[in-house]
Amino acid sequence: MEVVVVVLLTLVPWPGPLEPRPACARDKAALVRKLVNKRWLPVLDKYGVTLPLECPLHAARDVFAQQEAAKVHVPPQWTCGLCGKAFYHEAHLDRHLDNRHEDYLNNGEDVVCLADFCDVMRCEVLLERMRDFDDTPPSATALDLWHQPLLLSSPSMHQSQPHAGTASCLHHHAFCSCMHTHTHTHTQVLYVTTRQTNTLMHLLLHF
């Protein structure tokens, strides 16, 4: 009987090699990460809400999470926490991490490349506003980049679509499946749902 089992196992095809994961654009991923950290998380922190691990924007799912955690910034230097080598520009440290510490990339099945969210986050537009990010406190305009999606930039559209805010809500929902939105007249009610938290936040939007 054992011989028959062994013969049958030899006939079962072995799975082929796993396809290599496409390279993640570090510069674009950094842009999305900066937006999430400076514009999105402060709003959630204000209401005592944390992103669940199921959300693709959770920091632990970032393919560069370990390398980012290893960065030490003491102006004017950027230091690699993995080997101690120092650089004067973060871009040089990034190249060092790519060349010397590639084994510190996350390889889990649920790993996310934040650069994949560039279309939703409007990276091309944000690149023009990056200078403002460092000069403006997060609490000043925490959701301003979501207030004016490209599809809602025309004043005539607001006049012809009384519920145009719904499209703005979908702009939030498109990149984070853990967010659920409902819209009322002139007031957007944003429900942030996690396994432990179901918090209702009323955010007034000026369309």
Tell me the pLDDT band of 192, cut-offs 50, 70 and 90.
very low
Instruction: Note whether 120 and 53 are same-domain residues.
Output: yes
Measured N-to-C along each axis, helices 26-35 and 90-100 cross at an angle, to the nearest 10 degrees, of 120
Token pair recorded at residue 85: 């080598």
- 78/179 same-domain check: no
Report residue 135's pLDDT band, with 50, 70 and 90 as the boundaries: low
Confidence at residue 130, expressed as pLDDT on a 0 to 100 scale: 61
Q: Can you list the positions of beta strands (E) in the chain?
A: 71-74, 77-80, 86-87, 179-184, 187-193, 198-204
* Domain co-membership, 55 together with 119: yes
Give all strands (DSSP E) within 21-76, no chain letters: 71-74
85 and 181 housed in the same domain: no
CB-based contacts of 189, cutoff 8 Å, min separation 6: 181, 182, 183, 200, 201, 202, 203
Q: Are residues 27 and 101 in the same domain?
A: no
Residue 88 vs residue 17, higher pLDDT = 88
Instruction: Using alpha carbons, select from 207, 203, 199 the residue that is nearest to residue 50.
Output: 199
DSSP 151: G
Q: How many CB atoms lie within 10 A of CB 90?
A: 12
| Pair 175, 128 in one domain | yes
**Whether 181 and 116 share a structural domain:** yes
Which of 113, 136, 139 has the alpha carbon at shortest distance from 47? 139
Least confident range of 38-47, 60-69, 85-94, 141-150: 141-150
- Shared-domain flag, residues 123 and 56: yes
Closest CA to 36 of 146, 110, 191, 168: 146
Q: What is the pLDDT of residue 121?
A: 81
Q: What would the pLDDT profile of 66-106 be if each residue is shown by its tens digit?
A: 999 999 999 999 999 999 999 999 999 999 999 999 999 99
Identify whether residues 99 and 71 lie together within a single domain.
yes
Enumerate residues 6+ apart whose C-beta is below 8 A from 122. Answer: 145, 149, 150
Q: Are residues 127 and 32 in the same domain?
A: yes
Average pLDDT over residues 6-11: 48
Q: Which two tokens stand for residue 19?
A: 């396809």
Domain assignment present for 9? no
Residue 106 Ramachandran class (φ > 0 left, ψ -120 to 50 alpha, else beta) = beta
pTM of the model: 0.57
What range defines the domain where residue 45 resides?
A: 23-63+112-132+171-188
Q: Of the given ranges (91-95, 106-110, 168-172), which has the lowest mean pLDDT?
A: 168-172
**In the predicted model, is pLDDT for residue 178 greater than 90?**
no
Q: What is the pLDDT of residue 177?
A: 46
pLDDT at 118 over 60: yes
Angle at 143 between CA 206 and CA 175, to 5 degrees: 120
